[in-house]
Amino acid sequence: MFCSLLLAACGQVSRPAARQSLLQVPRQKLVVGLDTISVEVAATEEMRHVGLMFRTVMAENEGMLFVFDRDDNYSFWMKNTELPLSIAFADRSGRIADIQDMSPHDETTHHAPPVPVLYALEMNQGWFLRHGVKVGDVIPSLPKP
């Protein structure tokens, strides 16, 4: 009986929501500009692939930090992403190389940094502008890949 109820309940959860809830994405505090933010750290390929897909809300000082294994010109798009986001690309030293705005569900525009980076930080759209964070600023204490 319990197994039947469990299977019935699982059938009602969408695959993306179930997949996202199964990922144990660690959280970390970061100082960005004058603010302390809480980020989910996407440091595995699966976590980076899911990213912020299917989220409908994110608090003002929360975001997702993508940590890669090596420096490269990583490209981002907004497939299945409900939230308007801004992305800051940072190099190995934490220096922000570029900041771009991204529109929900835009599968045609690919957002990539102008130079190889090791990190990408997604926040609610306009967060960097509202908090005075700009290209050239450094994000200290980023986790090592």
Q: 51-97: per-residue pLDDT in tens?
A: 999 999 999 999 999 999 999 999 999 999 999 999 999 999 999 99
Q: Is pLDDT of 36 > 80? A: yes
Is residue 140 in some structural domain? no
Give me the domain span that covers residue 77. 2-130
Strand partners, 35: 32
pLDDT of 23 reads 64
CATH number at residue 9: 2.60.120.1140
Number of domains in the chain: 1
Confidence of residue 40 (pLDDT cuts 50, 70, 90): very high
Is residue 138 in some structural domain? no
In the predicted model, what is the mean pLDDT of the chain?
88
Is residue 114 in some structural domain? yes
Is residue 136 in some structural domain? no
52, amino acid identity:
L
